[in-house]
Amino acid sequence: MSPPPCSPGPAPGFFVIAILACSRQFAAMTPLPEFERRPATALVAMANALSMGDAVPDQDLARIIRAVVTSRAERAALLAAVRASNDPDSGLTVADLLGAFAAEAGEAEAQDRDADQIIGQWAQRLAAGALLASFGAAIAGTVTGGHAFGLTLLSFSGFIFAAASRLGGKGRMRVNAKERETAETLARHVLEAARASESKE
């Protein structure tokens, strides 16, 4: 009696299909990425808390937004967090908060510019005029001796002080302008990230 014929093994194609199926299953089971506690995730948390009716102090929110806006790493982390978020509305809220922050920074910048044009420029002109007048009075001999020297010194130091204070104001204006531009750009990118996360789902 001849032995029963061996049953043929499964075709190699079967293994390929099995491996593919397993890898799909593992990919579906991949846990969601965990995010660290950092300014970017704190901002998303605050935005969600705000949308759920919690009270978040404006100062705290502004500090967190400033910390996010001024750091490249935090901006990238914010975009990643918004993209990974399961709730597309949180991206919209974050973008809105960033827009409000940009508007506030723009307002502060405009106030600084007004103060510089109305007060700073005229303080500098006044000191320059006083310097020229004291030179003129000293040369003409109307004011002599210690008075002439004192006036020249006073008006010169006033001119230097006015220039230095204007420089300080300009620096603050530049910082505000940079924060405003970065916050506006980031708000646009956050909206795009929220849209991308929505379409992914």
C-alpha 56/C-alpha 99 separation (Å) is: 17
Of 4-12, 16-24, 118-126, 177-185, the segment contacting another protein by CB under 8 A is: 118-126
CB of 17 to another protein, least distance (A): 32
Indicate which single residue of 86, 199, 200, 201 sits in contact with another protein (rule: CB under 8 A). 86
- CA 137 from chain centre, in angstroms, equals 53
Examine residue 197 and tell whether it contacts another protein (CB under 8 A).
no
CA distances from 49 to 59, 63, 68, 87, 151 (A): 15, 16, 18, 13, 61
SS3 labels along 76-120: HHHHHHHHHCCCHHHHHHHHHHHHHHHHHHHHHHHHHHHHHHHHH
Indicate which single residue of 78, 94, 120, 180 sits in contact with another protein (rule: CB under 8 A). 120
Total binding residues toward another protein, as defined by CB under 8 A = 63
Q: Which is nearer to another protein, 20 or 172 (CB)?
A: 172
Closest by Cα among 156, 153, 150 to 127:
156
Chain residues 146-185 in contact with another protein, contact rule CB under 8 A: 147, 151, 154-155, 158-159, 161-162, 164-166, 168-169, 171-172
CB of 113 to another protein, least distance (A): 12
Token reading at 136: 């003129």
Asked whether the beta carbons of 69 and 101 are under 8 A apart, the reply is yes
C-alpha 93/C-alpha 80 separation (Å) is: 16
Binding residues vs another protein (CB under 8 A)? 31-39, 41-42, 44-46, 48-49, 52, 54, 56, 59-60, 63-64, 67, 81, 84-87, 90, 112, 115-116, 119-120, 122-124, 126-127, 129-130, 133-134, 137, 142-144, 147, 151, 154-155, 158-159, 161-162, 164-166, 168-169, 171-172
